[in-house]
Amino acid sequence: VAATVLIACPDTGDLVPTGVRADLLPDLPAINHLEACAGCGNDHDWTRDESVVTTATD
Ligand SMILES: [Zn+2]
């Protein structure tokens, strides 16, 4: 499993997946959009600076 990018949901505070692979993070724009947050179901804008990269585990 590849490492992925998470953000802290601003509504629940839980880390939720953005669906972005960690190795693609440097190519993203500074501000990104997440639709249908896994934590609350809303859409969020998020920045690279606030994102969290998971460690891939097998
Ligand atoms: Zn959310």
Distance 22 CA to ligand 1 centre (A): 20
Looking at residue 22, its amino acid is A
Element (H, E) at 47: strand 44-47
Distance 38 CA to ligand 1 centre (A): 7
Contacting residues for 11 by C-beta, under 8 A, at least 6 apart:
37, 39, 40, 42
pLDDT tens across 1-58, in order?
679 999 999 999 999 999 999 999 999 999 999 999 999 999 999 999 999 998 766 5
pLDDT of res. 5: 96
pLDDT of res. 57: 62
Distance 54 CA to ligand 1 centre (A): 18
For the four alpha carbons of 23, 4, 33 and 8, in that order, the dihedral sign comes to negative
pLDDT of res. 1: 65
pLDDT of res. 46: 97
pLDDT of res. 55: 79
